[in-house]
A and B are shown apart, each in its own frame.
Chain A
């Protein structure tokens, strides 16, 4: 499974630990109902269709940037022209601290509902809780690589785009009708980010961006022993090793390629005593990590929230590869099948794509960029949101398209292969 920047699976910060401890308690106490719910699923896993096409765990075709998938509608969307429901609560199911509370409050006031924010630890556990009936949210954060699971499990509802005009009006054309959800049957985009390298220019002497293969820096980081880290995430970590060797199929299920990538990663133990974690957004600005695999949004959030006073913005640098070689991702929002307010849920999806709302959510709270036309690198630099030297942390619509790289759903066997490969790397070799 692809993890998400908000998951932070390897390292536990104070906030993460508290959330995870609570999550663990819930997981134990709710295990019975969850497991019972899961055991009710009856579809048999098929990894190839009759035409030999690879299928995901949900039995649906695997979407790729150059292979568009239109997901089947398991029910009709709601009719157009209905009045929004009012009164009671409206529940948003999302990562912790991943939506500006002030904006949620404003939405609630506008439609006369009490907006409740329920957090999940990671998207996978969120889907588990949704499937078990432990939560009954109206809308939830979704990732493209989990979309087919949610659709196959009938956990999210088809959309009526008549209620969501902001999708056409404000969103990058590449994500209005995305390859993973042709016709936007189930999702609208929320944020986007790329995976690259963040470093401290006051400690790292190499001009990483000018290197023939910048990913090689991790294999040349002897001088930065103990200060070098990779994302603690199976897909990102192994994909980086694949890209370093020129393999751009970051959804490969070839065991030989995965094993070689893991072997390459294990070389880093002795070269730089590599660390794994997802605190780069804090560690690099604070200087506890000098060289870090990082998501593009990390440097923006790190600059805004964590760069110590007196440290110039030029101490931070970020590199991401050119299109076709850089892994990019985007998050989405969907309407849950459990909603009792389907019209209002549609209006919420439209609300989050409003130019002002999306911009405010990004620069005042979230730090993760929305894929809307009004947000572009030049204006962000001009407005002082992003320093000039981090302009390349901002994505543009040109980063998306059929020749882009995106970590997407794998077959069940493929997911096991990647997870076991990461397990081998995480085990740390000899004592």
Chain B
């Protein structure tokens, strides 16, 4: 028998990693968000003691994000973009994950490699590649003209929301498919057979068995892609450049990029983090409930 501390000890590197690369930096962001600005160099002066925190910047950010504030539209736009991108990712990603898990057979490994393959190239390079593809004389327009879907080239890079959303979908979809695949692959086929034996149609079996049992994968994948999407600023910068398609991450970038109010950028980061934490808590609660339900079914 191995000593009990050994298993706990194995978690130490992960915990240390989290503390050094997440907890400490995040506390530094909090210190800046609730801190002051150096009067000479206009650099943030963090306040480390929570009892002395200055909430003025946070109030300013909340005012700007409230209806009528200068960031209300960009905040709303960010939520809409992320929601639509997530919906499209699910619409495209779920069938791919389902097929790979259920019907790909011996091609399963190859398909998984093909899904992972784009991740070998940096996100930025993939976006820049899309800029070339979406040019007026790029391959996308050429294909659409050749197939008579379009009668004249579309100005994809003219600053449209649809291009930003498609780019977000393209950039993040592999991160959704992989946890979805893992979730679908783990579903015990006997559950489906039982449903069919009891008279369920294929669709009904999918709706009442597969879909609920893949909920953790859906939520896991959704969390995995929505968190970075909310902070994304380079995708709209690269494929659009229009203020009409900017996201909240562009505001964080602006305030952190050498201006006199980095504290505003830090406070906005904190607000975004709190918003994402709420989504994260919902995810954890859902996972907990799903596991409990599975446990109940198993006991029966």
Q: Please measure, in the bound complex, the distance between the C-alpha atom of A276 and the C-alpha atom of B76, giving whole angstroms.
A: 21
- When the two chains form the complex, which single residue of A41, A122, A227 contacts B38, counting CB atoms closer than 8 Å? A41
Taking a contact as CB atoms under 8 Å apart, the answer to whether B251 and A273 are in contact is no
The smallest beta-carbon distance between B64 and chain A, in angstroms, is 8
**Known contacts A122-B257, A273-B159: does B238 contact A131 (CB below 8 Å)?**
no
Taking a contact as CB atoms under 8 Å apart, the answer to whether A428 and B243 are in contact is yes
**Known contacts A426-B246, A430-B73: does B260 contact A419 (CB below 8 Å)?**
yes
Q: How many residues of B contact A (CB 8 A)?
A: 48
The smallest beta-carbon distance between B31 and chain A, in angstroms, is 8
Q: Does B28 contact A (CB under 8 A)?
A: yes
Binds A, one of B40-48, B109-117, B142-150, B276-284: B40-48
Q: Please measure, in the bound complex, the distance between the C-alpha atom of A269 and the C-alpha atom of B38, giving whole angstroms.
A: 36
Taking a contact as CB atoms under 8 Å apart, the answer to whether B157 and A427 are in contact is no
Q: Does B242 contact A (CB under 8 A)?
A: yes
Chain B residues, CB < 8 A from A18 = 124
Taking a contact as CB atoms under 8 Å apart, the answer to whether B259 and A274 are in contact is no
Taking a contact as CB atoms under 8 Å apart, the answer to whether A35 and B28 are in contact is yes
Q: Does B3 contact A (CB under 8 A)?
A: no
**Known contacts A226-B158, A415-B259, A427-B243: does B254 contact A12 (CB below 8 Å)?**
no
Q: Does A356 contact B (CB under 8 A)?
A: no
- When the two chains form the complex, which single residue of A45, A131, A419 contacts B255, counting CB atoms closer than 8 Å? A419
Task: Report the nearest B residue to A21, measured CB to CB.
Answer: B124
Binds B, one of A26-34, A61-69, A180-188, A376-384: A26-34
- When the two chains form the complex, which single residue of A17, A28, A43 contacts B234, counting CB atoms closer than 8 Å? A17
Q: Does B99 contact A (CB under 8 A)?
A: no
Chain B residues, CB < 8 A from A44 = 39
Q: Does B155 contact A (CB under 8 A)?
A: yes
Q: Please measure, in the bound complex, the distance between the C-alpha atom of A1 and the C-alpha atom of B43, giving whole angstroms.
A: 12
Task: Report the nearest A residue to B250, measured CB to CB.
Answer: A426
Taking a contact as CB atoms under 8 Å apart, the answer to whether B243 and A41 are in contact is no
Chain A residues, CB < 8 A from B215 = none
- When the two chains form the complex, which single residue of B135, B243, B261 contacts A416, counting CB atoms closer than 8 Å? B261
Q: Does B267 contact A (CB under 8 A)?
A: no
**Known contacts A14-B128, A149-B41, A415-B42: does B259 contact A427 (CB below 8 Å)?**
no
Taking a contact as CB atoms under 8 Å apart, the answer to whether B40 and A41 are in contact is yes
Chain A residues, CB < 8 A from B77 = 428, 431
Taking a contact as CB atoms under 8 Å apart, the answer to whether A429 and B42 are in contact is no
Taking a contact as CB atoms under 8 Å apart, the answer to whether A131 and B43 are in contact is yes
**Known contacts A32-B28, A226-B157, A273-B159: does B237 contact A429 (CB below 8 Å)?**
no
Task: Report the nearest B residue to A4, measured CB to CB.
Answer: B258
The smallest beta-carbon distance between A155 and chain B, in angstroms, is 9
Task: Report the nearest B residue to A422, measured CB to CB.
Answer: B254
Chain A residues, CB < 8 A from B83 = none
- When the two chains form the complex, which single residue of B70, B158, B243 contacts A269, counting CB atoms closer than 8 Å? B243
Taking a contact as CB atoms under 8 Å apart, the answer to whether A1 and B242 are in contact is no
The smallest beta-carbon distance between A250 and chain B, in angstroms, is 17
Taking a contact as CB atoms under 8 Å apart, the answer to whether A28 and B39 are in contact is no
Q: Please measure, in the bound complex, the distance between the C-alpha atom of A430 and the C-alpha atom of B80, giving whole angstroms.
A: 12
**Known contacts A17-B234, A412-B260, A428-B74: does B155 contact A226 (CB below 8 Å)?**
yes
Q: Does A108 contact B (CB under 8 A)?
A: no
Chain B residues, CB < 8 A from A423 = 70-71, 251, 254-255
- When the two chains form the complex, which single residue of B32, B43, B46, B73 contacts A428, counting CB atoms closer than 8 Å? B73
Q: Does A152 contact B (CB under 8 A)?
A: yes
Task: Report the nearest A residue to B155, measured CB to CB.
Answer: A226
Q: Please measure, in the bound complex, the distance between the C-alpha atom of A113 and the C-alpha atom of B250, giving whole angstroms.
A: 42
**Known contacts A149-B40, A226-B159, A273-B159: does B70 contact A424 (CB below 8 Å)?**
yes
Between B74, B128, B257, the greatest number of chain A beta carbons within 10 A of the residue's beta carbon is seen for: B257
Q: Please measure, in the bound complex, the distance between the C-alpha atom of A57 and the C-alpha atom of B77, giving whole angstroms.
A: 35
Chain B residues, CB < 8 A from A227 = 158
Chain B residues, CB < 8 A from A123 = 258
- When the two chains form the complex, which single residue of B25, B241, B250, B255 contacts A275, counting CB atoms closer than 8 Å? B241
Chain A residues, CB < 8 A from B80 = 431
Chain B residues, CB < 8 A from A149 = 40-42
Interface residues of B in 193-247 (CB under 8 A from A): 234, 237-238, 240-246
Taking a contact as CB atoms under 8 Å apart, the answer to whether B241 and A428 are in contact is no
**Known contacts A12-B124, A288-B135, A428-B77: does B41 contact A276 (CB below 8 Å)?**
no
Q: Please measure, in the bound complex, the distance between the C-alpha atom of A123 and the C-alpha atom of B246, giving whole angstroms.
A: 25
Chain B residues, CB < 8 A from A152 = 40
Task: Report the nearest B residue to A426, measured CB to CB.
Answer: B243
Q: Does A9 contact B (CB under 8 A)?
A: yes
Chain A residues, CB < 8 A from B31 = 35
- When the two chains form the complex, which single residue of B28, B43, B70 contacts A128, counting CB atoms closer than 8 Å? B43
Interface residues of B in 14-73 (CB under 8 A from A): 25, 28, 31-32, 37-46, 70-71, 73
The smallest beta-carbon distance between A175 and chain B, in angstroms, is 25
**Known contacts A275-B159, A423-B251: does B244 contact A131 (CB below 8 Å)?**
no
Chain A residues, CB < 8 A from B250 = 426
- When the two chains form the complex, which single residue of A10, A57, A234, A412 contacts B241, counting CB atoms closer than 8 Å? A10
Chain A residues, CB < 8 A from B135 = 288
- When the two chains form the complex, which single residue of A38, A128, A419, A424 contacts B259, counting CB atoms closer than 8 Å? A419
Between B43, B46, B157, B254, the greatest number of chain A beta carbons within 10 A of the residue's beta carbon is seen for: B43
- When the two chains form the complex, which single residue of B28, B40, B159, B243 contacts A153, counting CB atoms closer than 8 Å? B40
Q: Please measure, in the bound complex, the distance between the C-alpha atom of A38 and the C-alpha atom of B31, giving whole angstroms.
A: 13
**Known contacts A416-B261, A427-B74: does B158 contact A38 (CB below 8 Å)?**
no
- 11 residue pairs bridging A and B, Cβ less than 8 Å apart: A10-B237, A35-B43, A39-B46, A41-B39, A128-B41, A276-B241, A288-B157, A412-B260, A419-B255, A425-B243, A431-B76
Q: A31-B25, A124-B259 are in contact. List 14 more A-B contacts (CB 8 A).
A: A11-B237, A12-B238, A35-B45, A43-B39, A58-B40, A59-B40, A149-B40, A152-B40, A273-B159, A274-B242, A275-B242, A277-B237, A419-B260, A431-B77
A residues with CB within 8 A of B: 1, 3, 7, 9-12, 14, 17-18, 21, 28, 31-32, 34-35, 38-39, 41, 43-45, 57-59, 122-125, 127-128, 131, 149, 152-153, 225-227, 229, 232, 234, 269, 273-277, 288, 412, 415-416, 419-420, 422-431
Q: Which 3 A-B pairs have the closest CB atoms?
A: A226-B158, A124-B258, A45-B39
